[in-house]
A and B are shown apart, each in its own frame.
Chain A
Amino acid sequence: MKEKIKTILPYVDLPLIILALYMVFIYAPTDSYMGDIQRIFYFHVSFAWVGFLSFFCNFVGSIMYLIKKERCWDILAVSAAEIGIAFCLIVLTTGPIWARPVWGTWWTWDPRLVTFLILTFMYAAYMTVRNAIEEETKRARFAAVIGIIAFLNVPLTYLASHLWRTIHPDVIRPGGKWGLDPAMTATLRIAVPAITIFFVILLLRRMDLEGMRDRVAELKKKIMKEA
């Protein structure tokens, strides 16, 4: 079943990404104030949301590992964190590229930007700690604790524009209303699932890799024992 899903998902996602790109560049209207540069927004927001989703997966994996002490939850946590960092890097590069012509600066110490940057650093620290600890159970336990603490920054990042004065645009206004043209909303509604499926594809592959590494470690131990 898992293998079937892994085979099918790229075939589902590729047309969806192509459709999303078509909608971003052709279907969606040009923003009257920002012009074409606004078209960065669709994938920028999609990667940010799916980045949050990946950190949520890490959070679930971390909690479940501490409860059940099963390696599969640690595999989920580390795989999700690594992809989340890659997605955060995309957000942290496309954001300033959008900000340069719109705000007149690449970076400003805005609460949303700062909390997002801290979030990325926290998960980078998570990966660093993992690489620094040799012993498997100790590594997983330490990483799970850091993963849980790091996730506390996700709602803070999301709510930053509501909690503090910020110049970062907000897609969903207070009360759950979309502050966008209907065609722009439709484009975003295609781009988000396209990137979500892309994330699932990467996650399954990354989890496979971790499983294979375990098998290698197991075989190495077996050979050492027999030698």
Chain B
Amino acid sequence: MEGGLYYLFLAYTILWVVNFGYIFFLGKRYKDVQKELEHLEKIISGK
């Protein structure tokens, strides 16, 4: 199959980019919500 290695490389690159992209996206949302949670808890404890 001509160009097999090129397509193989392309497929695995996309596969890991999507995976790491999702992990990054999840981590970012996690951090944002954690920050907001800490901020709200501070407001409540300060009252």
Contacts and interface: CB of A to CB of B under 8 A. Distances in A.
Given A37-B1, A101-B7, A205 B26 contact: yes
Contacts of A209: 26, 29-30, 33
Contacts of B33: 209, 212-213, 216
Interface stretch (A90-98, A116-124, A142-150, A163-171): A90-98
Contacts, number: 83
B7 A223 contact: no
Interface in B1-26: 1-5, 7-8, 10-12, 14-15, 18-19, 22-23, 26
A216 B47 contact: no
Given A202-B22, A205-B30, A216 B7 contact: no
B37 A97 contact: no
A19 to B, nearest CB: 16
A99 to B, nearest CB: 9
Contacts of A33: 1
21 contacts: A37-B4, A37-B7, A44-B11, A47-B15, A89-B18, A93-B14, A94-B14, A97-B7, A97-B11, A98-B7, A101-B2, A198-B19, A202-B23, A202-B26, A205-B26, A212-B37, A213-B33, A216-B33, A216-B36, A219-B37, A219-B44
Given A37-B4, A40-B7, 6 more contacts: A40-B8, A40-B12, A43-B15, A86-B22, A101-B1, A219-B37
3 tightest A-B CB contacts, nearest first: A37-B4, A219-B40, A97-B11
